[in-house]
């Protein structure tokens, strides 16, 4: 005969009454705080057993602890994703909360992109932020990256110069695997399309990155100093097959009203002047 383990035998022993419990008229143990059962009665192979269970207040406190644990796990995951996806620490300061109020219209569109992310993700629609140097395109892209990371979406933000350096260092056989590895991120943001070295190798690698993303049906956000006109008519086939894919998947947004770097310099100078006057 197979011996029954002591744990199983325990089920058949009468439960001990604890300090915060009482015995109800039905013979089951109840919680003296919430007055719900801490014991249930069930039939098992002709025998009645009365195993313990959680009362309402124990269940509520268990649920709350679980919720807190899950929230901590979520925050840890967000931080891990942020440290992998935003390798440049400056990008972590690019948030809607830190926004100084430039490019109000474009910032509004960036916020709506984040709010409607599920829809954009489904239709693999990205953004093309284009305009002159120093107008805040990377800032806007960074805000989108941080806001989506906060929602738990894995985002990678990099730039073409860094990508090309990495691809140049890799053996040709490893390049495709490296490029395809970006498809583990729900959103890929690449800064500065068009500043890559004017070589066949560079153009081929940029095409590889854009084409892999295009085929993955995952959205990308691209920033560029090139004008929309230049992107539509680059003048050579190698570039047009890159830009055509970007234009097919990314909604163009012009960011060029003001030169933010100049505005910041001016603001800093004005602040310095004020400080000098005050002392």
For Zn ion, which residue of 4, 8, 27, 33 counts as binding (CB under 5 A)? 33
Tokens read off for 53: 């269970």
Q: Is 31 in the site for Zn ion (CB under 5 A)?
A: yes
Q: Which stretch binds Zn ion (CB under 5 A): 28-36, 99-107, 232-240, 251-259?
A: 28-36
Measured CA to CA, the distance from residue 156 to residue 92 in angstroms comes to 12
The nearest distance, CB 16 to Zn ion, in angstroms, is 17
CB 127, CB 251: distance < 8 Å? yes
For Zn ion, which residue of 57, 109, 161, 170 counts as binding (CB under 5 A)? 57
Q: Is 34 in the site for Zn ion (CB under 5 A)?
A: yes
Burial of 230 (0-12, 13-18, 19+ CB in 10 A): middle
CB 212, CB 243: distance < 8 Å? no
Q: Which stretch binds Zn ion (CB under 5 A): 7-15, 56-64, 65-73, 186-194?
A: 56-64
Size of the site for Zn ion (CB under 5 A): 5
Tokens read off for 115: 């709010």
Looking at residues 110 to 129 of the shown chain, list those that interact with Zn ion (rule: CB under 5 A): none
Strand partners, 198: none
Q: Which is nearer to Zn ion, 56 or 84 (CB)?
A: 56
Burial of 225 (0-12, 13-18, 19+ CB in 10 A): middle
Q: Is 55 in the site for Zn ion (CB under 5 A)?
A: yes
Q: Is 52 in the site for Zn ion (CB under 5 A)?
A: no
Q: Which stretch binds Zn ion (CB under 5 A): 24-32, 69-77, 234-242, 267-275?
A: 24-32
Q: Is 37 in the site for Zn ion (CB under 5 A)?
A: no
Q: Is 71 in the site for Zn ion (CB under 5 A)?
A: no
Signed CA dihedral, 197, 201, 203, 206: sign only: negative
Q: Hey, how many other C-beta atoms are within 10 angstroms of the C-beta on 71?
A: 10
Measured CA to CA, the distance from residue 63 to residue 270 in angstroms comes to 54
- Which of the 8 DSSP states describes residue 97? T
Q: Which is nearer to Zn ion, 34 or 228 (CB)?
A: 34
Q: Which stretch binds Zn ion (CB under 5 A): 5-13, 57-65, 164-172, 229-237?
A: 57-65
Helices then strands, each counted (H, E), the chain:
11, 9
* CA of residue 216 relative to chain centroid, distance: 18
The nearest distance, CB 51 to Zn ion, in angstroms, is 17
Q: In the complex, which residue's CB is closest to Zn ion?
A: 31
Measured CA to CA, the distance from residue 255 to residue 109 in angstroms comes to 11
Q: Which stretch binds Zn ion (CB under 5 A): 52-60, 147-155, 180-188, 229-237?
A: 52-60
Residues of this chain that interact with Zn ion (CB under 5 A) are 31, 33-34, 55, 57
């Amino acid at each position: 005969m197979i011996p029954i383990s002591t744990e199983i035998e325990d089920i058949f022993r009468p439960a001990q009454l604890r300090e915060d419990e009482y015995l109800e008229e039905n013979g089951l143990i109840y919680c003296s705080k919430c007055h719900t059962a801490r014991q249930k009665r069930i039939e098992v192979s002709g025998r009645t057993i009365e195993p313990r269970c959680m009362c309402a207040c124990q269940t509520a406190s268990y649920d709350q602890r679980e919720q807190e644990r899950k929230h901590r796990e979520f925050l840890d995951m967000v931080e891990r994703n942020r440290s992998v996806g935003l390798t440049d620490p400056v990008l972590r300061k690019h948030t809607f909360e830190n926004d100084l109020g430039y490019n109000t219209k474009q910032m509004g569109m960036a916020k709506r992109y984040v709010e409607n992310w599920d829809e954009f993700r489904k239709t693999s629609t990205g953004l093309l932020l284009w305009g002159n140097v120093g107008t805040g395109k990377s800032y806007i892209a960074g805000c989108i990256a941080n806001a989506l990371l906060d929602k738990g979406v894995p985002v990678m933000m990099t730039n073409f110069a860094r990508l090309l350096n990495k691809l140049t260092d890799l053996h040709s056989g490893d390049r495709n695997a490296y490029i395809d590895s970006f498809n583990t991120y729900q959103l890929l943001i690449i800064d500065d399309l068009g500043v890559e070295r004017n070589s066949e190798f560079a153009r081929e690698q940029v095409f590889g990155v854009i084409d892999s993303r295009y085929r993955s049906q995952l959205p990308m956000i691209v920033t560029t100093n090139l004008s929309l006109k230049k992107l539509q008519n680059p003048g050579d086939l190698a570039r047009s097959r890159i830009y055509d894919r970007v234009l097919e998947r990314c909604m163009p947004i012009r960011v060029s009203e003001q030169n933010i770097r100049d505005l910041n310099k001016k603001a800093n100078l004005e602040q310095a002047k004020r400080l000098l006057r005050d002392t």
